[in-house]
A and B are shown apart, each in its own frame.
Chain A
Amino acid sequence: MTTTETQSPPRERAVGQGIDRVDGPEKTTGKARFAAEFPYPDLAYAALVHATVARGRITGIDAKAAEAVTGVLSVITHLNAPVLKPAPARSMLDLSTMVSATSVNYLNTDEVHWDGQPVAVVVAESLEAARRGAALVEVTYQEFPAAVDFAAEEANAKPQKNSLLGAGSAKKGDAEAALAAAPVSVDLRFTTPPHNHNAIEPHATTAIWDGDRLTVHEGSQAIAWMRKHLALRFGIPERNVRMTSPYVGGGFGGKGLIWPGTILTALAARATGRPVRMMLTREGVYRTVGGRTPSIQRVALGAGQDGRLTALIHTSVTRSGKVGGGPEQVTGAAGHLYDAENILLQQNLVEMDLIPNTFMRAPGEAIGTFALEAAVDELAGELGVDPIELRMRNEPARNPLDGKRFAHRMLREAYALGAERFGWAERTPEPGSMRDGRWLVGMGVATAYHPSVQFTANVTARLSADGTVVVRCGFQEMGMGGATAQAQIAADELGVPYEAVRVEYGDTDLPTGPMAGGSAQTASIAASLLAACAKLKGEVLGLARRSGDSPLRGQRLAGVEARDGGLYRLDRPDSGESYEAILSRAGRPYVEAAIGAESGLGAVAGQVRFMAKFLSDQRRWVKAACGAQFCEVRVDQDTGEVRVSRWLGVFDVGRVINAKTAASQLRGGIVMGIGMALSEETLVDPRNGRVMNPGLGDYHVPVHADIPPIDIHYLDEPDPTMPLGLLGIGEVSITGVAGAIASAVHHATGKRVRDLPITLDKLL
């Protein structure tokens, strides 16, 4: 029997395409307004005064000279500041409590806990007057002894305990004994310095009070949590606070927690009765926003002559502040990457009188994979085995620590593709054996690894009779292309053109979104958006089924597909109806679906669901994005100058939603990793705890001339346990970068540099 089905051409799906980001026109014409760019009549400006001791008590403040500056409205100190409630204690039952960066009750205490802590805010009619006033405030202190020298504090580090959110240690067998018995081994010490995010937009806040209602424009990675925090601090209901964050000028973790600038802008606005804007100075960002912890790491590897690992030891010392911060998962990747018989992981933490550390792109993993991967390269050298081959010999089938399944693992494929595309076979193994004129050429590889998580997200989706769709979710957009990606997802799910979808975000008036962190935002929203779209289709189909005239009468959701702006039967593709036809017949201008509850029991249930899923996911499998990093460096034979001349990364990040923005984000992580490897270092004065290079002239982030063309490939294999099969891509690509560069530098020069950054003085 022959059928006469008309075969429609395969429909172009939006997901996977490299669609231009939706906010491109705003960002290339200067129309995009960031946090410090909301105009208000009667706007006043604020500037901070920073403590100049690491620990102490304020004994006196002389504000007379500052108050005499023309235009200065108020000098707010702990002597006259409005009362702020203390920051809430962190609790797993309310994730918003995690947003508190420090426990200090700013300007409500005479205690100083770090050099740079704000001790006064000057509010003035103009930016210049505020800054001038701030420079004139005289503060005296009684100084107390302070722990500010990380190297000296190493011995005081305490083992990190295991918690719900992360393991501080892990053990399989007896790794020390196996190491001692191993025929081939390396036992190495690595150090990494502190780093700062250096988003090009300094932290900025515009705060406006209307009675006991507060509006805050903020560059934020977590508007919902910050809103709740501000409500608590100022003693007003959460519904009275609105935070908007339509554009965020870079975050990288630095805008994930609420730092003093945000709170003090709101406090200054309350104290003066004026709308107040405060953009931190670049120096102010270093003084009042934490960065990445420094680390001291030990990686010891033992292997048989066959290269199979018998022992893997990775330990770390990092620091937090006495008033905040916490451990970072420095040894996290070491538990998942190599099939060693015996494993010992231990993270140690020392609390210091410095500004608390905070998450910065792949906290822990970025620096942990430097040490681990550089050590694997050293072991390969000891064994005389190719570093990729050594990794393949130790590639596990199941999670090495506990035998859990990997939800998804394609590291072998990533290395195979990368080696071929990069031309790894052309590498001659002997260090110093590849030259190009005065340049010593080296090639290095390393594994990238970052765990995948998901938060809850409340989403509404509205489908109108004209076929347009509005997706609403209060998420944050700092350049990941979130609105673009979610529009692509909604377009495919509802079978409408991508251009028909508008995504609203960056405002706490919208349904509560997830925070932008942990590489989790896209997947978290996608999960709820998929559910919302399914609900919408169900409702539309319900309207159609109720009509005697509809060709969809009697159909079930499983029997129809959304395409061409309507629903069509799968068994008879020419049989179906447009949304317009269905909705207008039903007399409905739109249908809307909501996922997640904003308050009450439903919201509590949402948090419980999050924790239940988080814990069951952790029990069931190991989920992560991973990849293979390949680089070529050139080292000047006379000066030791290191140039990265080629880069190729192959990433296993599940399904890619937008080919263009995903590649950009993966490149961005590599660029930041190149900075970490070669130039970035926050210098803390070991005598007084003061950051000595608080500016972009002295803290060297990569510039155009430092970055070669970066070739990005991804395997595009969906992860079966994630919504649409997507894994987060925000952080994985910074991991492994410094390890690959250190190995390439060794290949070029024969020198192992185990202390970042790899500056030329270490190669001479």
Chain B
Amino acid sequence: MVTLRMRVNGTTRSLDIEPWVSLLDALREQLDLTGTKKGCDQGACGACTVLADGERINSCLALAVQYEDRDITTIEGITHPIQQAFIEHDGFQCGYCTSGQICSAIGMLAEHGAGMPSAVTEPGATGLSEAEIRERMSGNLCRCGAYNGIVDAIKEVAR
């Protein structure tokens, strides 16, 4: 067992966990923050996306012990206009990938704002086109196929 502290959604939490517990399982099973979802546990679907010091990560591929004293934001700690935009643009159906899509979108907007390019960024381009959004959000799968609504929601808040 390892004892560690972590700031989760602005509150310092203390965890007694085995060192092999993923950040995702620590959040869901120990802290009862079940808004973060497990879809594949392999880093392939993005449902478990959270923000670590503002950067988006797949929490299933992170060990909780790596995040001692770091700042973790889960969907439960987010209040952002993108949530209403998701509702208005119907950017989800079943809702299972939604927490990850929202956290990922917030992280993605920050990356783009900081000038980080993507695979489709043309030299010198700075705008966030639909193609940019789609490319940058491609790590977050939605099997219901709500991609159009998600892109529209992100476009609205990126304006």
CA distance A660 to B86 in the complex (A): 12
CA distance A201 to B99 in the complex (A): 12
A705 and B44 contacting across the interface, CB-CB below 8 Å: no
Q: For the complex, is B158 an interface residue (Cβ under 8 Å from A)?
A: no
A667 and B21 contacting across the interface, CB-CB below 8 Å: no
Q: For the complex, is B53 an interface residue (Cβ under 8 Å from A)?
A: no
Contact with B along A15-39 (1 / 0, CB 8 A): 0000011011111111111101101
Q: Give the chain A neighbours of B142 by CB distance below 8 A.
A: 200
Nearest CB of A to B145, in Å: 3
Q: For the complex, is A697 an interface residue (Cβ under 8 Å from B)?
A: yes
Interface residues in B128-144 (C-beta closer than 8 Å to A): 130, 133-135, 137-144
B45 and A696 contacting across the interface, CB-CB below 8 Å: yes
Which one, A32, A37, A279, contacts B95 given CB within 8 A? A32
A126 and B96 contacting across the interface, CB-CB below 8 Å: no
B140 and A704 contacting across the interface, CB-CB below 8 Å: yes
Complex: chain A residue closest to B33, CB-CB: A30
B88 and A20 contacting across the interface, CB-CB below 8 Å: yes
Q: Give the chain A neighbours of B25 by CB distance below 8 A.
A: 127-128
Interface residues in A271-317 (C-beta closer than 8 Å to B): 279, 281-282
Which one, B40, B93, B148, contacts A480 given CB within 8 A? B93
Q: Give the chain A neighbours of B21 by CB distance below 8 A.
A: 128
Nearest CB of A to B155, in Å: 11
Q: Give the chain A neighbours of B78 by CB distance below 8 A.
A: 29
Contact with B along A245-262 (1 / 0, CB 8 A): 001111110000000000
Which label, helix, strand, loop or mixed, suits the secondary structure of the A interface? loop
CA distance A29 to B92 in the complex (A): 13
Q: For the complex, is B34 an interface residue (Cβ under 8 Å from A)?
A: yes
Interface residues in A147-202 (C-beta closer than 8 Å to B): 197-202
Nearest CB of A to B78, in Å: 8
CA distance A704 to B45 in the complex (A): 12
CA distance A34 to B38 in the complex (A): 11
Interface residues in A454-494 (C-beta closer than 8 Å to B): 478-481
Complex: chain B residue closest to A671, CB-CB: B145
A705 and B90 contacting across the interface, CB-CB below 8 Å: no
CA distance A703 to B93 in the complex (A): 16
B74 and A200 contacting across the interface, CB-CB below 8 Å: no
Q: For the complex, is B32 an interface residue (Cβ under 8 Å from A)?
A: yes
Q: Give the chain A neighbours of B146 by CB distance below 8 A.
A: 664, 667-668
Q: Give the chain B neighbours of A495 by CB distance below 8 A.
A: none
Nearest CB of B to A504, in Å: 18
Q: Give the chain B neighbours of A29 by CB distance below 8 A.
A: 35, 75-76, 78, 83
Q: Give the chain B neighbours of A202 by CB distance below 8 A.
A: 38-40
Q: Give the chain B neighbours of A704 by CB distance below 8 A.
A: 133-135, 137-138, 140, 147, 150-151
Complex: chain A residue closest to B139, CB-CB: A703
Q: Contacts A128-B18, A697-B44 hold; do A200 and B147 have CB atoms under 8 A apart?
A: no
Complex: chain B residue closest to A23, CB-CB: B95
Nearest CB of B to A558, in Å: 38
Nearest CB of B to A68, in Å: 16
B28, B98, B138 — which one has the most chain A CB atoms within 10 A of its CB?
A: B98
B87 and A30 contacting across the interface, CB-CB below 8 Å: no
Q: For the complex, is B102 an interface residue (Cβ under 8 Å from A)?
A: yes
Q: For the complex, is A400 an interface residue (Cβ under 8 Å from B)?
A: no
Q: For the complex, is A324 an interface residue (Cβ under 8 Å from B)?
A: no
Nearest CB of B to A484, in Å: 10
A28 and B83 contacting across the interface, CB-CB below 8 Å: yes
B92 and A661 contacting across the interface, CB-CB below 8 Å: no
Interface residues in B62-100 (C-beta closer than 8 Å to A): 74-76, 78, 83-84, 86-88, 90, 92-99
Q: For the complex, is B149 an interface residue (Cβ under 8 Å from A)?
A: yes
Contact with A along B112-136 (1 / 0, CB 8 A): 0000000000000000001001110
Q: Give the chain A neighbours of B140 by CB distance below 8 A.
A: 704
A27, A250, A480, A671 — which one has the most chain B CB atoms within 10 A of its CB?
A: A27
B92 and A479 contacting across the interface, CB-CB below 8 Å: yes
A28 and B147 contacting across the interface, CB-CB below 8 Å: no
B94 and A28 contacting across the interface, CB-CB below 8 Å: no
B147 and A707 contacting across the interface, CB-CB below 8 Å: yes
Q: For the complex, is B8 an interface residue (Cβ under 8 Å from A)?
A: no
A200 and B20 contacting across the interface, CB-CB below 8 Å: no
Contact with B along A637-675 (1 / 0, CB 8 A): 000000000000000000000001101110111111000
B20 and A479 contacting across the interface, CB-CB below 8 Å: no
Q: For the complex, is A695 an interface residue (Cβ under 8 Å from B)?
A: yes
Which A residues lie at the B interface, using CB under 8 A?
A: 20-21, 23-34, 36-37, 39, 126-128, 197-202, 247-252, 279, 281-282, 478-481, 660-661, 663-665, 667-672, 695-697, 701-705, 707, 709-710
Q: List 6 A-B contacts (CB under 8 A).
A: A199-B96, A250-B144, A282-B42, A671-B145, A695-B40, A701-B143
